[in-house]
Chain A
């Protein structure tokens, strides 16, 4: 089980403290999944980072009763002066996973060929995303954190991610954040809406969908920077 208890996250900005998450509660049982809907700038990515443990909450606590991934396909978790393979080795060492058996999968999935022996800083964004996704799949987590906005790439890559995640690993938990209610509707068995730092819960995806669409209609979408 994964649970968030009264989690708040406040960032210091030049204009004073900015509260992104305000006493958020959330529980996810093993094997279940949930979608988090929110507009641009609603704090979805912050929430994913806090759940993953990359950032600490300002207050409240997070109890991880299962192995929770780092934000999926997030290309920022690389040492850029290391090669693709060295990054894979790093991840394997940190998570205690043997390296060798993973090589064929990573080679096949990333289609990076000899680039896996080049420093990541020479990669294009698409190449980095492919590597990042493959590394996330290399460690067998119980719960995957998916920031939909981060998974960029062509249709073929999307299809492969889809297969790896939603078909091969459909017994796992996942938390999917998205600004697109249709994506959440398609993949998640339940959904919550993040609005002004508060998390709104619903009995089913449909009511979350309606609430979110209405909130969109009420206020014009804020365009991020």
Chain B
């Protein structure tokens, strides 16, 4: 689309994509968080309120894991933050095409740009809320300091990758059928209790362990908790397996998104 040459070089394409992502980012920030009241702070506050709510709830009903030595607050914060990573990005992407349809009228604005923007925003939001909440709870003494920050980071990045891949696949699928969008909500609720957020794999008998470890995000949460609690807990994870799943999700997701772009109709 640039001036004289009909072939757009990689550099030009890259510049265009950066402009588009910036434009979409600003658009999302304005429409979703507005300029009034707390504005963009909601990006962090929203996941924080969720995490706090769940933490309070779990503490109140005394989900004490007798003798496991895991502080309930830290358990809730690590668990629920990880759910936000894959659930919100995917939900945002399934609604992304419809909500941004008018903007897709501009040739350089593509579905992948809409998705990348939304995934990035959700990851930034969930990460900030995780950092803010854990810092706060560590400060007031309700949560221990992470045992191994590098492992925490590794687990977190793996969860982000999983969330991004899943969001691309399910979001792209929503262009093919409204069923995908409709079904995602019940599926996400069903996945939540199985995702490892509310349990440690160690608590289950062997056969059940093998079953839950089929879900890639369980490995990420286990790794995250391994990093957070250290040797206090026994964790079960296979990052190679999770990486394979994430890679497949991402590749298949990108393919579905490309096919979805061909089907955009006004």
Contact = CB atoms under 8 A, between A and B. Distances in A.
A34 to B, nearest CB: 19
A89 B103 CA distance: 13
A93 interface: yes
Contacts, number: 82
Interface string B1-19: 1111110000000011001
A142 B104 CA distance: 21
B102 A65 contact: no
B31 A81 contact: yes
B264 interface: yes
The 4 closest A-B pairs by CB, nearest first: A53-B107, A93-B23, A77-B105, A65-B6
B105 A64 contact: no
A142 B1 CA distance: 10
Given A66-B3, A82-B30, A96-B19, 8 more contacts: A1-B6, A52-B107, A63-B6, A67-B3, A79-B27, A90-B26, A94-B20, A95-B108
A91 B5 CA distance: 23
A79 B103 contact: yes
Main secondary structure on B side of the interface with A? helix
Contacts of A64: 1, 6
A203 B6 CA distance: 27
A56 interface: yes
Interface string B84-123: 0000000000000000101111111100000000000000
Interface of A: 1, 11, 49, 52-56, 63-68, 70-71, 74, 76-82, 86, 89-91, 93-96, 142
Contacts of B185: none
Contacts of B107: 52-54, 68, 70
A86 B25 CA distance: 12
B22 interface: yes
B262 interface: yes
B2 A67 contact: yes
In this complex, the member of A52, A78, A81, A91 whose beta carbon has the largest number of chain B beta carbons within 10 angstroms is: A81
Contacts of A70: 105-107
B189 interface: no
A70 B106 CA distance: 6
A29 B1 CA distance: 15
20 contacts: A1-B6, A52-B105, A53-B107, A54-B107, A64-B1, A67-B1, A74-B105, A76-B105, A76-B266, A77-B102, A77-B106, A79-B31, A90-B26, A91-B106, A93-B23, A94-B106, A94-B109, A96-B15, A96-B16, A96-B19
B266 A49 contact: yes
A82 B106 contact: no
Nearest to A120: B102
Given A55-B265, A56-B261, A94 B105 contact: no
